[in-house]
Amino acid sequence: MDRKTWIVLLLCGIALAVNMHFRAKVAREQAEQAKKEAPAEVASPGPDGAPAATGALETVDPTVDPPVEETTVTLENGGVVFEFSSRTGGINFAELKAQGVVGAEDLNVRINRHGSHGVGALVRGMDRFIDGGYTLTRPSDREIVFLGRTTDGMLVKKRWVLMEDATGAEYRLNLELTVENDSGNPVELSDVGLFAGAAAGLYKREWENQTGLFYKGGKFKFKAVTWFKKGFLRSARSLFEEEVPALKYAGVSNQFFTTILVPDEPYDARVWGKTSTVELPERAGGGEKMAIRSALSLPAGTLASGAGARTMKFEVMMAPKRNVMLLRIGEGRGKVMNYGWFGLISLSLNWVLNVLHGWIFEPIASKWSWGLSIILLTILIRGVMWPLQNKSTRSMKRMSLLQPQIKELKEKYPDDPQKMNQEMMGLYREYGINPVGGCLPLLVQIPIFFGFYRMLMYAVELREQKFLWVDDLSQPDTVAVIPLFGGLPLNLLPIVMAGTMVLQMGMTPKTGDKMQQRIMMFMPIIFFVFCYNFASALALYWTTSNIFAIAQTLITKRLPDPELKKKGGGGKPGFFARLQERAEAAQKAQQAQRAKASGQAPPKPKKKRGPRTGG
């Protein structure tokens, strides 16, 4: 590389570092502003002063008041501990036994840890909680029944039962909600809702657009916490409220975990959402994160006073976002992964990754099984693309053999680039060369890369999985912290990835002009910055892909060089040649039309200039 190129690379590196610094600063300022503007939590009213029950539900003893002190009780299975509260008759949190928190493997992840109330608590609107306290019974070790009343006079029974014999059963419970109106006034049930829980990022580097609320009626919709923040052309939003026809499910999620409320039958519902800020512990990087909480209304219907009870059934799922598990459950729950534009690719790659792990590596190498699965999946992808890559490499070699003739064309038509391009396309057509053939593998790899990227972003399977020096494939592989800029993490895999990418590019035949070559030289820097603070699994994939490409190039170099032969009959015009011919014809027709409209004679064709002889 020449001196100018090194200067440009250095300036780009400095610009990227400055950009990252100021983006972090802006994010902190926005979080502080959101904290100032966040509405105060509305505490649920206590049982004092609640209307007396009059025997509306047969199982409610009207002479027994709910306890003033909160009582907690748990339901537990092999993978999850659900803690319930007598204050709300809902789930305070679900503790996942196999999922450690970031920075403290001895502590387990708790879903709804930031919820002010339990999942399944009754609300009016978003934050007005109306549970008045409950008494509880335990018919079995898999069931809890809460009996009580709301602060506005409804008698309530909540029956929670752990699910059995179903996909993901350890994360799923059935909720049977029975309500009866004893207030003396009619109650519109659609004004009452169920609290769907809260979610927030687990660590400092988790992106805010990975946390949000979602719902599925006709289509799946996701609203990230960034939807509430002040934008360039809009003010901050304090409340989300949406009418959803035929709601199938709703909930909240962060990068790896979710809470889903699923009605027994779809119904027209209203979904609410609000945000606040929470403090992260130092082990997770410290600082503030935006949290989101959500609720959904009950099915519409007027419940007259003394008209009898009404029962509604829901499923509550508090689980890691495992793509394969959600797909097996069905009902469109796979959408909760929120893979985005390249969802089909991400879904397929995740399925294959789980197959490779479960069938091959887990039985023989459980310690590094997920890292080995990523490597094998990368090799399989590159193997499928080998014929295309090989064809591309040979096309680039043939183009390099044409460079002397292309140079002559540039010297022959220095003042007529249009004619030069036309002759160049004719030259490519004459020798049967596709000028974009060398770019095709890169164009194919781009959607695969972003599909892999989105898949790894939400692959909860990779949490706490080790590989070589990597402690957690879902986190950057920080091996040290450099005391610069407040502590710069030294991540080794992205450095190895960038080095292998530079080596691969150095072995690739040079084509195109200097500007195109310099643009390609920036690719290692772009991917280095892109992957540096991302999950180390992505850098592992890209490094393996580069090493495979290097091996492929070495093998290809041992093959005989392609011959530069003219095609019989000159060949048909290619796609780009046809485009150029159409553009030239359109330009000439436009010039003739303008000349006719102005009453002038059509422009005469330029006199061809002879080639330069050097004399």
Predicted confidence (pLDDT) per residue in 162-208, tens digit: 999 899 999 999 999 999 988 778 888 999 999 999 999 888 878 88
**For residues 249 and 229, which has the higher predicted lDDT (pLDDT)?**
249
User: What residues have CB less than 8 Å from 109, skipping those under 6 apart?
Assistant: 95, 96, 99, 100, 101, 202, 257
- The string of pLDDT tens digits covering residues 523-581 is 777 777 777 878 888 889 889 988 988 888 888 777 666 666 666 554 455 554 555 55
pLDDT for position 48:
33
Segment 255-304, tens digit of pLDDT: 999 999 999 999 999 999 999 998 888 888 788 889 999 999 999 988 88
Strand partners, 270: 243
Give the single-character DSSP code of 359. I
Residue 59 has pLDDT above 50, yes or no: no
Strand partners, 174: 161, 315
What is the mean predicted confidence (pLDDT) over 428-433? 67
Domain edges within the chain: 38-48+61-338, 355-557
Residue 326 has pLDDT above 80, yes or no: yes
CA distance linking residue 161 with residue 75, whole number of Å: 9
Which of the four pLDDT bands, split at 50, 70 and 90, describes residue 68? low
Identify the pLDDT of residue 447. Answer: 84
Pick the CATH number of 38-48+61-338 from 2.60.120.620, 2.70.98.90, 2.40.50.180, 3.30.70.890: 2.70.98.90
* Helices 523-532/514-521 angle, 10° precision: 20
The two three-digit tokens of residue 77, written as one number: 């299975």
| Res 116: pLDDT | 85
The whole-chain average pLDDT of the chain stands at: 78
This model's pTM is above 0.75: no
- Say yes or no to pLDDT of 615 above 90: no
Tell me what the mean pLDDT of segment 89-100 comes to. Answer: 92
Range with the largest mean pLDDT of 6-15, 306-315, 551-560, 570-579: 306-315
User: Which parts of 473-513 are beta strand (E)?
Assistant: 478-482, 488-491
pLDDT of residue 434: 65
Quote the percentage of the chain above a pLDDT of 90.
30
34 confidence band (pLDDT: 50, 70, 90): very low
Of 66-75, 173-182, 201-210, 420-429, the least confident: 420-429
- What's the pLDDT tens digit per position in 447-457? 887 888 888 88
In contact, 314 and 119? CB cutoff 8 Å? no
CA separation for the pair 330, 333 (Å, rounded): 6
With cut-offs at 50, 70 and 90, classify the pLDDT of residue 103. confident
Mean pLDDT, residues 426-455: 72
pLDDT band at 51 (very low <50, low <70, confident <90, very high): very low
Bridge partners, residue 159, by sequence: 145, 176
> What's the mean pLDDT in 62-68?
46
Of 380-389, 415-424, 448-457, 582-591, the range with the lowest mean pLDDT is 582-591
Query: For the chain, what percent of residues have pLDDT higher than 70?
Result: 72
Closest residue by Cα to residue 242 from 202, 273, 270 = 270
- Distance between CA atoms of 272 and 547, rounded to whole angstroms? 49
Question: Residue 50's pLDDT is what?
Answer: 32
In the predicted model, what is the mean pLDDT of residues 475-483? 80
pLDDT band at 320 (very low <50, low <70, confident <90, very high): very high
pLDDT tier at 6 (50, 70, 90 boundaries)?
Answer: very low
More confident residue, 523 or 464: 464
Q: In what order do the strands lie in the sheet with 80-85?
A: 72-76, 80-85, 91-101, 104-111
- Pick 340 or 295 by higher pLDDT: 295
For 428-457, what is the mean pLDDT? 73
Query: What is the structure's pLDDT at 259?
Result: 96
Tokens of 479: 């091996």
Q: How confident is residue 142, by pLDDT bands cut at 50, 70 and 90?
A: very high
Q: What is the per-residue pLDDT for 212?
A: 93
